[in-house]
Structure 1
Amino acid sequence: MGHVTSADELLDVLLAGGRRTERATHVRRLPAREGRRGDWPAWADGDLVRGYRALGVEAPWEHQVQAAQAAWSGRHTVLATSTGSGKSLAYWLPALTAIRDRTAAATLDPGRIESARRRAGVLYLCPTKALAADQLAALERLLTAARVRDVRVAQCDGDTSQDERRWVRDHADVVLTNPDFLHFSFLPQHERWSRLLSSLRYVVLDECHAFRGVFGAHVALVLRRLRRLAAAYGASPTFVLASATTADPAASAARLLGVEPDEVEAVTDDASPAGRKTVVLWQPPELPGYGPDSGAPWASLLPDEDPWRTPGEPEDRPRRTATAEVADLLADLVAHGGRTLAFTRSRRAAESVATTTREHVGSVDPSLRATVQAYRGGYLPEERRALERAIREGSVRALATTNALELGVDISGLDAVLIAGWPGTRVSFWQQAGRAGRAGADGLVALVAREDPLDTYLVHHPEAVLDAPVEATTFDPTNPYVLAPHLCAAAAERPVRTEELDLFGPRAAAVLDDLVAHGVLRRRTSGWYWTHAEPAARLTDLRGAGGNPVRVVENETGRVLGTVDAAAADASLHPGAVYVHQGATFVVDELHQADDVALVTRRDVDFGTWAKWLTTTDVVEVHDERRWGPVTWHLGMVDVTSQVLGFHRKHLPDLRVLGYEDLDLPPRTLRTSSVWWTAPASVLEEAAVTLEALPGALHAAEHASIGLLPLLATCDRWDLGGLSTALHPDTGEATVFVHDAHPGGAGFAERGFELGPIWLTATRDAIAACPCAAGCPACVQSPKCGNGNHPLDKAAALRLLDAVLRHAGAPSR
């Protein structure tokens, strides 16, 4: 079983010598790209250059030189190139050279005034602790190869002990951390970090395309607070940002930092070599037997009819799941020596793909079982590090993973990437695809469609995946809901002066006035002050996680197996739930919500558990109301309540239902801001939308409007939620809600209310302009629909929106 490198060989493995050819709906070959080398900059530290050469980097790529040169000259720089293009060299070369320059000056002439200045300090920020740990390991490899012992590097985050933190504050030249630690600990305790702040020369922001939506707005304000405090300590750091390929990286970087776009140098011409990449779009086969009377175990779960079928088209039949299909393909690649990542949409799917693949390869060669593992969030850090090492070194050939491996963890030399289901954005798709064929080798990427209209559309419309531009990174740091708590935090760190308001944007003065009026801040002639005993940083959570992660603990041993986010705990760690960890199954005995602990027992079971829940939206308060004739628009607060009611046990792998059990779990309520509009019976009659067509019309209009609001509200689709119903108890009419997916609201629904006619017209135009027959991801389908994009009625939605818009601006009756 030799190591497979040719993309053609890999493709032949997928196609099974022709037996699976009809499943490949499209094959695109992206040409190889020659690398273009540059020269090491004259200013680069000689030891570091020798270290890079010892690690195999004989000369840098042109984009690395361009970005490093811009950063060295003190310009804020964003490097937006492909996965595996060596972005880290572009920031470590100037940053480490700056540290060593200052060290050398002090050593050569300790008596000179400028030599007495502090060593240059560097702060590295990234979205996850895992990525920071990976960068730390890579940095230590470089310093060891360079035989450099005078640069002190440390990771510091919420897991770091107080003793270690003290050492980092007193001695570290490079501190690797995340925005959350900056917000909760570093900035509020800035006096303790004065050594680093006063000498701060570079701030590195890695994988900065992940800072989007509300999280991006929070991070942008944390960075403004950092810049403000650094200036107070006499430092003016240069920011270097590394990003996936995104639309307009200079504008996004400037918005993140709070500077003008012309102050940021964008480096986007990727000079690294790329092997030929073969991209395959793949649709799993139809299942044998069909219909309620076919005897198939899944037949009772099928809808009576397919709402997507255009009259005259052949009826769609149910297809094999993407998870089962990917497990087959992964097993074949592993058996042929290929090193592969399989990206899945959920933790459950990652475990399922790994388990099924192990069974497949074990029947061919039992020694291959151990070469297939799962990798996902919720594993303990040491477990994840071990898996990353194993795939790098080759003792593991395949990892079934969630998007936990999408961000920069350094795993190269992979032959193939399988993607089980559309990951939601083209930025994510290309990030995942970039893991295949790194370092100039050939690579294969296969996007395997889930049984979902969105995925089905994409694998039959390759241009929507492969030819459309990547999305821009959207976030709004002037959003008052996000700005207010950060102004409080800034005032607590150091009173906010009038001359600093420009840093926080045009809305800062009004928000400060509001905070003073509500007694949150105190205004004095010298500025705005925080005068409360409690920490201001606690007013906001950057990620809106909504609670502590729940630890999964084995009953007999007390061993912590992993963690699950609070929001997902009720559905995945309820009593009786099956929890899978590296193929081993555990059954949950108890969920202690007050202590954030779930107790589990190891048991071999042949079933999985699927929670059933109910979500309702209740109007709490109406803040504003506008009437368009018979149509009414509202803005206000709503309670979005979700409650897990029970769970099904389903036999694996055929998903035959074995039983249902009720649960008694408390409801969880999100109080948030929402915009909603109602259409009475007269408008439905005018639109010729029957009661039968109404749910699909409202649902399609809801999806399309959620898809369009980010264009007007500078948010992300994932920052929004929605509900549509033919008869809502609070309004008594057909109603469409679009709400902020963040506690208390984040300003997006309010923006939708202000721009109602523009927003709804754009929604209507997007649906009308789309050439599809029955609805697609470009108009009415959603990548995050909880109902599997069902029911949707594109034509009825268009008639309904036309009727509603005819009343826009009409006098109220």
Structure 2
Amino acid sequence: MGPGELLDVLAAGGRLAERATHVRHLPPRAGTHGDWPAWADPDLVRGYRALGVDRPWAHQVDAAEAVHAGRHTVLATSTGSGKSLAYWLPALTTVRAARAGAVLDPGRIESARRRPTVLYLSPTKALAADQLASVERLLAASGVRDVRVATCDGDTSRDERRWVREHADVVLTNPDLLHHAVLPQHRTWSRLVGSLAYVVVDECHAFRGVFGAHVGLVLRRLRRVAASYGAAPVMVMASATTGDPATSAARLVGVPAHEVHAVTADASPAGRKTFVLWQPPELPGGDGPWSALVPDDDPWASVLLVPARGDTGVGAADPAGDEPAEHGPRDPDAAGGPREPVPPEGSGPQGTGERLVAVRTDRPRRTATAEVADLLADLVAAGARVLAFTRSRRGAESVATTTQAHLAAVHPALVDQVQAYRGGYLPEERRALEQAVRSGEVRGLATTSALELGVDISGLDAVLVAGWPGTRVSLWQQAGRAGRAGADGLVVLVAREDPLDTFLVHHPAAVLDAPVEATVFDTGNPYVLAPHLCAAAAEVPLRAEELDLFGPRAPALLDELTQRGVLRRRASGWYWTHAEPASSLTDLRGSGGQPVRVVETATGRLLGTVDAASADATVHPGAVYVHQGRTFVVDELHLEDAVALATARDVDHGTWARWVTSTSVVDVEQEVSWGPVTWATGQVDVTTQVLGYQRRRLPDLQVLGTHELDLPARTLRTAAVWWTAPAAVLAEAGVTLEAAPGALHAAEHASIGLLPLLATCDRWDLGGLSTLAHVDTGHATVFVHDGHPGGAGFAARGFSLGPTWLAATRDAIAACPCASGCPACVQSPKCGNGNDPLDKHAALRLLTAVLAHAPAG
């Protein structure tokens, strides 16, 4: 079926056509071929031809020529454009040529030399496993048996790892193994590291934010250790289409931008894509509690309504929202002691602030999760092969289970052809699902962004996206799964009840016509850089002439680390002198430690894993844990051993955690006066503690009971941007003392919802706070902070674009036609206090008054 026929299926013969707010037909693109390079290994060329690649695309030739010539290269083209050929052709050709040359004069010692090696890095194990299968198919088709290729990651046994160290020519792994095992033990890995000819960094656009900063520093350490053995590898980066790929790639690997050859002209063919923006309908009635209607696929979507009080901030979290996306967890886990709540400090995960509320007259809409489950069932029943991307692990399980229930009533034979796919599954479960999708055994897969990255799954008819994925880069990556290899495809973006989602489905140009974002990360972030300097010193003592590699902040940080006794300074450089490994100081993915294993109590079977920082809210005692449609109830949580014990039970309820949070200013780094308004940025501490949980009956979410928990507090030190509104500004805006909390809270929600238009982040990268009298500023204050330890550059971006950001926020509120505030403007899907109080019109007046004092231009 073509996209037009599939769209007719979704529209149900026109009955649901009004839900499609915009339909765009993207024209097909013809492909442009190039010639195989003269230097290409003829056996490999024969293998590619046997696999159906008679001639390469022009962009593949451009990139391969640059890589073979020794230039650092980034290839930024669309999903399915064949980026892997551009690096495997020169890499495998070089390995084969060196092996052939090594046997020209057997027995002569002067002919002995290290053969070149290749290191492939990807953000996920799934992608590395997929690339291994791809390379093995190529080598088999080529009849090549003299190239040894292997994956090596946390799942690799000790014996297999030893073989990789001693024999593998091509090693496929991830930055985590490089950081924790290879670089600290580089003498053991000297054959691999000392002979590196190429380092391939696949899907490099996924390395953004704090995770990107960590990976950038790991790559600098790798280049430095390789140089100590005399190796100077060519850095090859593959990326989705991103803004300014040469600059981003250069910043990632630590070289000047002019040294990176960027290939951005996509010469591969593309079929016609039908792109649909879709808004779920309003729900009838509206008498039920608002909290019961918030989307359950968002990590902190369901809320516990708490009477407004001035002494604490209390909220609720969705226990299955263990991370907002699969590019790495964003929650901190810096243990800290509990603090007395500072009134009226807000609530929500990492202090999302949002404890302040409004009388709602607008009816809520159906959740994106429920809508996508319906659409997925319709498409699978019509014979289509579909991926449905969700925002969380719980969302993937929910969509799959609901779709199966729909199909059971009409097409029972199709039930098993719909499955869920997410992080936390065991490796063998993920591999089996990937193969089932490729073979067509599974026709509908509800997945997190784990399948956004380059795992080769072709032949799909449609992609459903449940909620704005955070960036246009991610959206186009997910959309690229539909109609790969030049076939036509259908893409449907289904809006969540979120101001940004609602705005985007009614402003298609912002989705389909705006340029994709540049990758944002800061390798100079002191919270990220300091432990990597320690790790570098432990690997090879740091010399003064090497500090340029780590940026201008490195000398001052080294002095501070020396004064604290963390490093020791000698004439020859800086040394790590402690017994424990320096690499243990850094958690690349910000997960806060070892993942918590979920184990079935009766059998000892490992069910899956949960990130350490999510464990308190997701696998606490009594929590309901869902795994491939089966429900388990957690019996015990042992944080010190990173184990949760669970028992399989059929239950009719879910669990929602409650927490308390507080925020305090640690350091004001920059401050600007807009007349009476203060606009500032700096470091803040946000302390959160899970206090208990509710059991709610499904599906009506009726409260069945409330239970207390005794869990430790967690403190996040991060970057924030904030502005104050003294009494004179409130009076200027006509905002009374009674209306001020609702005005501030509404302005906070809307500004968090709009910042992703200006920075490469999404709402789940951010937290916030609004208060009538903050203890550190002395005035009414709105905070927006990064959800990562030390910050990720998002608050800094907001600070630099203050007037633009606040003007966009004001305009978005003003343009919304609702009467008193709705999810399209000032209500938040992750508000920890039930969006109460909110005052849309007072927020509009307040933002107008604040902007009247903003600097021109």
In the superposition, the TM-score normalised over structure 2's length comes to 0.85
Question: Who is 2:124 aligned against?
Answer: 128
1:661 aligned onto 2:703: no
Pairing 1:647–2:693 present: yes
**1:781, CA displacement in angstroms?**
8.2
Amino acid at match of 2:516: V
Deviations 1:252-275 (A, max 9, x none): 011111111111111111111111
Deviation string 1:521-546 (CA, Å, 9 cap, x unpaired) is 22222222222222222222212111
Counterpart Cα distance in 2 of 1:649 and 1:115: 72
Q: How does 1:297-308 map to 2 (within 5 A)?
A: none
Asked if structure 2 preserves the Cα contact closer than 8 Å seen for 1:617 and 1:640, the reply is yes
Structure 2 residue aligned with 1:67: 63
Gap runs ≥5 in structure 2:
295-301, 306-359
Give yes or no for contact 1:452–1:788 (8 Å, CA) kept in 2: no
2:803 to 755, 761, 767: 761
Aligned to 1:448: 494
Distance 1:341 1:361 in 2: 16
For 2:236, the equivalent position in structure 1 comes to 240
Find the aligned partners of 2:232 and 2:711 in 1 and give their Cα distance: 50
Contact 1:227/1:236 (CA < 8 Å) preserved in 2?
Answer: yes
Aligned to 1:330: 376
The answer to whether structure 1 residue 54 and structure 2 residue 65 are counterparts is no
User: In the alignment, residue 407 of structure 1 is paired with which amino acid?
Assistant: L
Partners of 1:559 and 1:464 lie apart in 2 by 47
Relative to structure 1, the CA distance from residue 733 to residue 354 in structure 2 (aligned partners, 3 Å threshold; closer, same or farther) is: same
Moved more, 590-599 or 109-118: 109-118
What is the SS of the residue equivalent to 1:320?
coil
Give the drift of 1:722.
Answer: 2.3
Q: Deviations over 1:374-423 (max 9, x none)?
A: 10111001000000000000111110111111111111110111111111
Contact 1:476 1:715 in 2 (8 A): no
Q: How does 1:734-749 map to 2 (within 5 A)?
A: 734-743=780-789, 745-746=790-791
Inter-CA distance 748–22: structure 2 relative to 1 (3 Å threshold): closer
Q: For residues 204 and 53 of structure 1, what CA distance do their matches in structure 2 show?
A: 23
| Cα pair 1:362 1:369 within 8 Å, conserved | yes
Q: In the alignment, what sits opposite 2:329?
A: none
CA contact (8 A) 1:650 1:656 kept: yes
Q: For residue 205 of structure 2, what is the aligned residue in structure 1? A: 209
CA distance in 1, matches of 2:787, 2:570: 36
Counterpart secondary structure, 2:212: helix
Find the aligned partners of 2:269 and 2:102 in 1 and give their Cα distance: 40
Q: Which residue identity does 1:478 align to in structure 2? A: G
* Deviation digits for residues 177-212 of structure 1 (CA, Å, limit 9, x no counterpart): 111211122111111111112211100000000111
In 2, Cα distance between equivalents of 1:142 and 1:302: 54
Residue in structure 1 matched with residue 344 of structure 2 by the alignment: none
Question: Which deviations, in whole Å up to 9, do the C-alpha atoms of 1:122-181 show, x marking residues without a partner?
Answer: 000111122111111221121122121111111112332332222111111011111121
Q: 2:538 aligns with which of 474, 492, 496?
A: 492
Greater shift in the superposed pair: 508-517 or 546-555: 508-517
SS at match of 2:135: helix
In 1: Cα distance, 2:396 partner to 2:758 partner: 36
1:277 maps to which residue?
273
Deviations 1:6-45 (A, max 9, x none): 1111111111222221211111111111122222111111
1:288 match: 284
Q: 83, 86, 103: which is aligned to 2:82?
A: 86
Q: Which of 435, 446, 454 is the aligned partner of 1:408?
A: 454
Distance 1:115 1:723, change over 3 A: farther
Deviation at 1:652, TM superposition (A): 3.2
Please list, as runs of the form range in 1=range in 2, the aligned pairs for 1:485-634 lying within 5 A after superposition. Answer: 485-618=531-664
Q: Which moved more, 1:557-566 or 1:520-529?
A: 520-529
User: How many angstroms apart in 1 are the aligned matches of 2:486 and 2:621?
Assistant: 49
Deviates more, 1:599-608 or 1:230-239: 599-608
> In the alignment, which residue of structure 1 is the partner of 2:299?
none
Q: Identify if the C-alpha distance between structure 1 residues 123 and 793 changes in structure 2 by more than 3 Å, giving closer, same or farther.
A: farther
Question: Would you say the 8 A contact 2:531–2:585 is kept in 1?
Answer: yes
Q: 410-419 or 631-640, which moves further after superposition?
A: 631-640
1:688 counterpart SS class: coil
Q: In 1, Cα distance between the equivalents of 2:489 and 2:379?
A: 12
Deviates more, 1:184-193 or 1:624-633: 624-633
**Counterpart check, 1:773 vs 2:769:** no
Q: Is the 8 A contact 1:126 1:178 kept in 2?
A: yes
Q: Which digits, 9 at most, give the CA deviation of each residue in 1:541-562, with x for residues without a partner? A: 2121112212111122111111
Question: Which of the numbers 199, 224, 230 marks the counterpart of 1:228?
Answer: 224
**281 and 93 in structure 1: CA distance in 2 versus 1, 3 angstrom threshold:** same
Tell me by how many angstroms 1:732 deviates: 5.4
Whether the aligned pair in 2 keeps the contact of 1:522 and 1:528 (CA below 8 Å) is yes
Which piece of structure 1 moves more, 784-793 or 24-33? 784-793
Aligned residue in 2 for 1:306: none
Answer yes or no: is 1:348 the counterpart of 2:371.
Answer: no
Deviation of 1:301 after TM superposition, in Å, equals 9.8
Partner of 1:721: 767
Q: What is the CA–CA distance in structure 1 between the aligned matches of 2:849 and 2:133, rounded to whole Å?
A: 60
For residues 60 and 792 of structure 2, the distance between their equivalents in structure 1, rounded to whole angstroms, comes to: 39
The residue aligned with 2:3 is: 7
8 Å contact 1:339–1:398 — kept in the other structure?
Answer: yes
Q: Which residue of 2 aligns with 1:265?
A: 261
Instruction: Classify 1:274/1:286 alpha carbon distance in 2 versus 1 (closer, same or farther; 3 Å).
Output: same
State the superposition RMSD in angstroms: 3.3
* SS of residue paired to 2:78: coil
1:511 maps to a residue whose letter is L
Q: Deviations over 1:412-444 (max 9, x none)?
A: 110111111111111111111111011111111
Shift in alpha-carbon separation, 1:199–1:272, aligned structure 2, 3 A: same
Contact 1:207/1:408 (8 A) holds in 2: yes
| Equivalent-residue separation in structure 2 for 1:751 and 1:30 (angstroms) | 36
Question: Which region of structure 1 is more displaced relative to structure 2, 17-26 or 656-665?
Answer: 656-665
Q: Which runs of 5+ in 1 are unaligned?
A: 304-313
- The structure 2 residue matched to 1:464, chosen from 507, 510, 515, is 510
